Amino acid sequence: AQSVSQHNHHVILSEAASLELGCNYSYGGTVNLFWYVQYPGQHLQLLLKYFSGDPLVKGIKGFEAEFIKSKFSFNLRKPSVQWSDTAEYFCAVNTPGGYNKLIFGAGTRLAVHP
């Protein structure tokens, strides 16, 4: 069965620090990959997605992620975080074709201190 692992459950950073959140998935075939963000009191929002093509994808708010197929990884990065990036971040995967079921990781709670 497919699964998604997020290595860090809680991350605390100071503003302007760089961010990298790890995500690994277990599935041998073609996958679509997503990062969602959930700001306090708000709904899940899509940060970025990878379907095919350039493995380095850029999303909203300065976030980017790199798909490394050989490592089954899709890590999220941001060079300089802001206090407003405080949120919970979820990595998710689904498989093309079939029905559109998302498998989520457990999430990483990021706190950015001014």
- 12 vs 16, which CB is nearer to other proteins? 12
Q: Are 82 and 61 in contact (CB under 8 A)?
A: no
Stretch 48-67: interaction string toward other proteins, x if CB under 8 A: -x-x----------------
Nearest of 79, 78, 93 to residue 36 by alpha carbon: 93
Q: Are 92 and 4 in contact (CB under 8 A)?
A: yes
Q: Is 107 in the site for other proteins (CB under 8 A)?
A: yes
Q: Is 77 in the site for other proteins (CB under 8 A)?
A: no
For residue 94, the one-letter residue type is N
Least Å distance, CB 16 to other proteins, is 28
- 70 vs 100, which CB is nearer to other proteins? 100
Other Cβ atoms within 10 Å of 67 Cβ, number: 20
Least Å distance, CB 56 to other proteins, is 19
